[in-house]
Structure 1
């Protein structure tokens, strides 16, 4: 049985990277992580934008509604600084808030850095899209995804998205027995 194709929206939110002051590292880190985890054929829809709430909102709406990305991940803009507006933008476009994702992401990060308590990451749905705010640094992106991704495929099932499958030996995806697809013969 072939694996469902998947569209993933990746949004790196950084004033400096979007203006060319330094090279963005978030988008390549995300693409690398998914290449080592998913069986599904993936098409990435990427955006590199500044910390502007209206632009973040417009970008998230475009990726969910027009581009039909089942999963949308943002990097950056989740701290307490004045320019950090990613959670506000994400909540503004949300249909449902999933507080457990923010709680879990902070819990994962607290294993590595005490400043994880400063993060305001959120997880939401918009239609058939799951939107998650991730940290901006590649190491923290990997740690966070390693810690929470087991729940992502079933969430995407529940909102009407494709059936995500992990490569053997990568992430142990969790689904209730009633939600498992029969194994291919």
Structure 2
């Protein structure tokens, strides 16, 4: 789910969503749906709620995690998740900082809702793919645990 006022309005093409879809499909994920929503707490919360109601087990938000006036993806996410997973957000920030110092400013969070994992990622296609380097090895284990798998 790309979170961007400019992409949602058609002013700018979404580059992050297609890059994420391509990487997820290459990693073996099926039924990857890309959506674009405007920035803000309410649009993010509503889109997450809809995706989860449709049965999504992994929902990634791309963008809206900075300190800009409309960057409220973490707030929208926090209103939906049941269990926060701060370690995932920490490792994503650390990976981002290895590429660019300003990655320390990202406020993204991660957590679970029922048997689903929700993770906020930065918005640039490059940052999304860098985030996948540390996130994708964790996803299978988290989803297995949420489905009742053993440690």
TM-score (norm 2): 0.94
> Please, what is the CA RMSD of the aligned residues?
1.5
How many residues in Structure 1 have an aligned counterpart in Structure 2?
151
TM-superposition CA deviations, 1:111-170 (whole Å, max 9, x none): 100001100011011111100011111111011111222111100111118x9xxxxxxx
How far apart, in 1, do the equivalents of 2:76 and 2:12 lie? 24
How far apart, in 1, do the equivalents of 2:113 and 2:69 lie? 26
How far apart, in 2, do the equivalents of 1:21 and 1:62 lie? 24
Tell me which residue corresponds to 1:130: 117
More helix per residue: 2
With 111-120 and 143-152 compared, the bigger mean Cα shift is at 143-152
Please give the secondary structure, in 1, of the residue aligned with 2:46.
helix
Specify which of 18, 24, 29 is matched with residue 19 of structure 2.
29
The answer for unaligned runs of 5 or more in structure 1 is 1-10, 164-177, 180-185
Mapping of residues 1-185 of structure 1, within 5 Å: 11-38=1-28, 40=29, 42-64=30-52, 66-160=53-147
Cα contact 2:40–2:72 (8 A) shared by 1:
yes
How far apart, in 2, do the equivalents of 1:155 and 1:117 lie? 24
Cα contact 2:121–2:128 (8 A) shared by 1:
yes
Please give the secondary structure, in 2, of the residue aligned with 1:93.
coil
TM-superposition CA deviations, 1:67-118 (whole Å, max 9, x none): 1111000000000111000000001111100000110000000110000110
The answer for unaligned runs of 5 or more in structure 2 is none
